[in-house]
Structure 1
Amino acid sequence: MGDLNSNLMALSSYALDSTKKEDLLDQYLQETLSQMMDEYHKNQTPIDIDFRKLIHWLRAGDQLTHQIHPYPAKLLPHIAYFFLKAHKNLTQKLVLDPFCGSGTVALEASIHGFLPLVADANPLALLLTKVKTTPYCIEKLIRIKEKISYKYIRYKVAPTIDIVNPDLWYLPEHKKRLEILLRTIEEVVDQEEKAFFKICFSSLTKKVSFADPAISVPVRLKTKEKFSPTINARINKRLDWIKSANIIQEFNIIVDANIERVIETNNKYPNRFTAKQVGIDARSLFTNPNGSIPMPDNSVPLVITSPPYGSAQKYVRASSLSLNWLELASPKELRSLEEKSIGREHLKKTPLCLEESNLPQDYVQLLKKIALKNEVRAQITQKYLIEMSQVVDEISRVTAPNGRVIFVLGNNQVCGETLRNDRFIIECFQKHHLKLKLILIDDIKSRGLMTKRNRTASVISRETVLVFEK
């Protein structure tokens, strides 16, 4: 990138040391984005970038309310930060993320003066995003915490919560104590505060379970002969801790940590906006709670989103314990919830009708190659592409004239065949006459996408950031 790299490093250093107003940083980031787009327009070549180095003053670890709850494959906050700061001069401060996930874009939008509009098929994602972006009254949270602890000691029974394979994941006594704790939380009158304590409770259900904390989907933690003595000793130590864990004590530790995160965020950004839900399906965005009024055409000036990647992550399974405990989806409802999610793992087997899919011929031929090796994977991939094209239809509809869409995605392999998701999305947006202004390539370092989801999938090690303009 030549001079651009030098400018970026100079910008980063300046941003750290300068005492001038924040709008100077916004201006420099706007100029940086403009330089990138000029370079891309000139060379028509994707630009390699390291967002961590570009925005190196932003901590990648625990900051604000970003780490209030675990969630798989979180978007790097630096990406959202960069594009939001580079668009701070927008007259209408709205940003849409139709795949909000853990709420990374929503929180960054909220603290930078944008109203976040969010959608997601996973109800846990919507709950988490709301909690992350809500400027809670700290005194109220502390009072409720004390009341929950008081009731927890007094209550002896609670309604049974239906969990997938409860004996596999919990000691019977732990499950009983968790049910009593949930009973006390359900009695919280204020819905916003109840949501906060439910998210804390959700974190606890993972922490005191026998699920391996290093794996996003629930996998029983146990020693194995192939592991080294050191690793097995560490696992046994973890298992012993789980068996002796004090439920209310661990809950209060999580609550206190999350209250500290809210305090930090409130102190730095007291006027941030709480995210507004605009859908449960990225293909159908609305403006009212029951979903009967579509979001107006040409109404959103900025879209920043990262959709599920084909063969990358089992989002519903990864959050299955939380979905069960919070009664957002019963064990029997998990499959139907997955079926509503784009990028699903399972699909009812039906005849493969490629010629009727309206997909570009290059992708029809690719699916035929996949079908020769595994017809089910071909069906799942076809469904993913069709649904992503519908997502692009809806995003294109609601994006305002001159508005921009930032799309973060990855390419992968299915049965040894390369699936160019980036090219497919580019073709879809160009059908709606959105112009491709920039392609950035960044290496994935810690998004939980490095592990193969199944034996027919591949490792995803690079992310593509596409910038379109209407």
Structure 2
Amino acid sequence: MNLVNRRAVLKFEDDEGKVVVPKTKSLIKDSSEIYRDLIAKFRASGLPLEVDFRTLVEWVKLGDQYTHQIHTYPAKLIPHIANFFVKASTLFKNEKAVLDPFCGSGTVALEASLAGCTPYVSDSNPLALLITKVKTTNYDVQELSEELQAITYRCKRYRSAPEIAIVNSNLWYSAERKKALEIILRAVMEVKGNEIRDFFRVCFSVTAKRFSNADPAISVPVRLKTRERFSDATNNKIISKLKWLEESSPLQEFVRISLANIERVASANRFNSDRASASIISRDARRLACDSLGTKNFQVPLIVTSPPYGSAQKYIRSSSISLNWLGLIEPDKLTVLEDQSIGREHAPKFRRVMPQGELPDSYEDVVGKIKAKNELRGFITRQYLLEMKDALAEMARVTSENGHIVIVTGNNQVCNETLRNDEFIVTILTSLGLNLELSLIDHIKSRGLMTKRNRTASVISRESVLVFSK
């Protein structure tokens, strides 16, 4: 099936054939009716439907909502997509549970939690798991406020703190600024309870990133500085930011960030005070529920996820400063963590042995063409496809009978060769006995998603939302 070149434009019509907007309440309880309507239209046309989830899911507000914005993260899934599927009761029979095996910063987990589902997550990036856990935890707001006061008091008393090893530290921090941040971290790490400590670790991570010399407009760390090719307006903004870094107080900013995040928690509490926090079942999407939790027979009725693309976003590099600050990985171990990630961006030459395994013929051809142009990209692309194949098989395994898998993906180019991630997913999952129940196309409007991942890749401006039934 060609999922891009042929498509149907989604329309809702009344009895007279006039286009109408689906009726929804400000806080819709169930999106099943819209979901069934989409399936009927997809079956009738046999073509992917073009939708705008921001319009379709009009009950989700744009911008800062609940705890979605407690910490930045590259290429975040818009909450509208997650919200739409977790609120479709037709996708649940007995158990209301949702799994995101590539959870990132927890957009799906939070929407599932707020909708009254039990969220399960997996991700190879420990920072992603930390943010997701904090984002979905129902904290006592008063307790957070009191602990913030205690942290602030300790920070004002301390004159020293353990030195933290940061990758390329001299590029990102002056000695004075780094010491001020280390004192804050010392005070945070002395918080007694693990959950509350983790909340303030996330707040500290935001502060440490904000006070680095890294350009906030670029997900991976790139030193912020004026350049001749920039416009005067851009350079003036950079000068202003650099001046702010020199004049502002890290402690005051930490308090401001913490208060803002406490209010976000309060907002989520008001919406659903009984929401469940995310349970981490694995750190590898290729081996779900096979860790020390003893949940090998784990199954869920619904998976909603957005896997990394081939030549993917630089998730580990973009997280490197926070990973080091929080003690989640040492600077010289970042490449080890990247090696555990699907969609990695590097493959050092001494480890470059073409991965073995079977791929569909058309993808063998694509990999061959990429390899002929760039051996490294050929290696990375083949490894990505094989690892995604394993991850898809694992998703199919843990999906309950009559359950569903929702995958948000996009197509990109590697060395001017189109990598059809959507068709690859359809080919693999249908070969495993799943049925493509719905195919949607949504255009990406967030600049945070429309980024080049490396110089041989392309910008992704549209995504496919594929729904499979088991």
The answer to whether TM tops 0.5 is yes
Query: What range describes the TM-score normalised by the shorter chain of this pair?
Result: over 0.9
Query: 1:9: Cα distance to partner?
Result: 8.0
Pick aligned residue for 1:284 from 263, 283, 287: 287
Asked whether the 8 Å contact 1:119–1:281 carries over to 2, the reply is yes
Match of 1:423 in 2: 423
User: Is 1:5 aligned with 2:5?
Assistant: no
Pick aligned residue for 1:55 from 54, 57, 61: 57
Match of 2:250 in 1: 247
User: Is 1:95 aligned with 2:133?
Assistant: no
Higher helix share: 1
C-alpha RMSD of the superposition: 1.8
Letter in 1 for 2:71: H
Give the TM-score taking structure 1 as reference length: 0.94
Asked whether the 8 Å contact 1:9–1:54 carries over to 2, the reply is no
Q: Deviations for 1:69-118, whole angstroms, at most 9, x for unmatched residues?
A: 11111101000011111136532011000000010000000000100000
Query: 1:413: Cα distance to partner?
Result: 0.6
Match of 2:132 in 1: 129
Match of 2:69 in 1: 67
User: Is 1:219 aligned with 2:216?
Assistant: no
Letter in 2 for 1:445: K
Query: 1:190: Cα distance to partner?
Result: 0.2
Question: Which stretch has the larger CA shift, 310-319 or 95-104?
Answer: 310-319
Question: Which stretch has the larger CA shift, 323-332 or 83-92?
Answer: 83-92
SS of structure 1 residue aligned to 2:429: helix
CA distance in 2, matches of 1:311, 1:366: 14
User: Is 1:146 aligned with 2:149?
Assistant: yes
Give the TM-score taking structure 2 as reference length: 0.94
Letter in 2 for 1:83: F
Q: How does 1:34-53 map to 2 (within 5 A)?
A: 34-53=36-55
Query: 1:287: Cα distance to partner?
Result: 6.5
Match of 1:192 in 2: 195
Query: 1:5: Cα distance to partner?
Result: 2.8
Letter in 1 for 2:426: I
Asked whether the 8 Å contact 2:171–2:213 carries over to 1, the reply is yes
CA distance in 1, matches of 2:459, 2:9: 30
User: Is 1:201 aligned with 2:201?
Assistant: no
CA distance in 1, matches of 2:261, 2:9: 43
Alpha-carbon distance change, 267 to 351 in structure 1, aligned in 2, over 3 angstroms: closer
Q: How does 1:17-28 map to 2 (within 5 A)?
A: 25-27=28-30
CA distance in 2, matches of 1:312, 1:277: 23
SS of structure 2 residue aligned to 1:5: coil
CA distance in 2, matches of 1:168, 1:2: 49
Letter in 2 for 1:150: Y
Match of 2:469 in 1: 469
Q: Deviations for 1:194-214, whole angstroms, at most 9, x for unmatched residues?
A: 000000000001111111111
Q: Deviations for 1:127-175, whole angstroms, at most 9, x for unmatched residues?
A: 0000000010011111111111111111111111000111110111110
SS of structure 2 residue aligned to 1:95: strand
Match of 1:326 in 2: 326
CA distance in 1, matches of 2:241, 2:365: 49
Alpha-carbon distance change, 365 to 352 in structure 1, aligned in 2, over 3 angstroms: farther
CA distance in 2, matches of 1:366, 1:96: 31
Asked whether the 8 Å contact 1:300–1:399 carries over to 2, the reply is yes
Match of 2:456 in 1: 456
SS of structure 2 residue aligned to 1:68: coil
Asked whether the 8 Å contact 1:75–1:447 carries over to 2, the reply is no
CA distance in 1, matches of 2:19, 2:149: 48
Letter in 2 for 1:45: L
Query: 1:294: Cα distance to partner?
Result: 4.6
User: Is 1:379 aligned with 2:379?
Assistant: yes
Match of 2:365 in 1: 365
User: Is 1:256 aligned with 2:222?
Assistant: no
Asked whether the 8 Å contact 2:164–2:325 carries over to 1, the reply is yes
Letter in 2 for 1:61: G
Asked whether the 8 Å contact 2:10–2:51 carries over to 1, the reply is no
Letter in 1 for 2:69: Q
Alpha-carbon distance change, 2 to 396 in structure 1, aligned in 2, over 3 angstroms: closer
Pick aligned residue for 1:179 from 177, 182, 193: 182
Pick aligned residue for 1:82 from 50, 62, 84: 84
Letter in 2 for 1:131: V
Q: How does 1:278-317 map to 2 (within 5 A)?
A: 278-286=281-289, 290=292, 293-296=294-297, 299-317=299-317
User: Is 1:30 aligned with 2:32?
Assistant: yes
Asked whether the 8 Å contact 2:9–2:50 carries over to 1, the reply is no
State percent identity of aligned pairs: 51
Asked whether the 8 Å contact 1:100–1:119 carries over to 2, the reply is yes
Query: 1:3: Cα distance to partner?
Result: 8.2
Gaps of 5+ in 1: 17-21
Alpha-carbon distance change, 3 to 411 in structure 1, aligned in 2, over 3 angstroms: closer
Asked whether the 8 Å contact 1:307–1:408 carries over to 2, the reply is yes
Asked whether the 8 Å contact 1:74–1:447 carries over to 2, the reply is no
Q: Deviations for 1:246-276, whole angstroms, at most 9, x for unmatched residues?
A: 1110100000100111111111110111000
SS of structure 2 residue aligned to 1:96: strand
Alpha-carbon distance change, 387 to 14 in structure 1, aligned in 2, over 3 angstroms: closer
Match of 2:163 in 1: 160
CA distance in 2, matches of 1:318, 1:351: 24
Alpha-carbon distance change, 168 to 154 in structure 1, aligned in 2, over 3 angstroms: same
Q: How does 1:224-235 map to 2 (within 5 A)?
A: 224-235=227-238
Asked whether the 8 Å contact 1:312–1:460 carries over to 2, the reply is no
Pick aligned residue for 1:15 from 19, 25, 28: 25
Asked whether the 8 Å contact 2:12–2:22 carries over to 1, the reply is no
SS of structure 2 residue aligned to 1:15: coil
Match of 1:438 in 2: 438
Asked whether the 8 Å contact 1:4–1:35 carries over to 2, the reply is no
CA distance in 2, matches of 1:295, 1:63: 35
Letter in 2 for 1:397: R
CA distance in 2, matches of 1:102, 1:9: 37
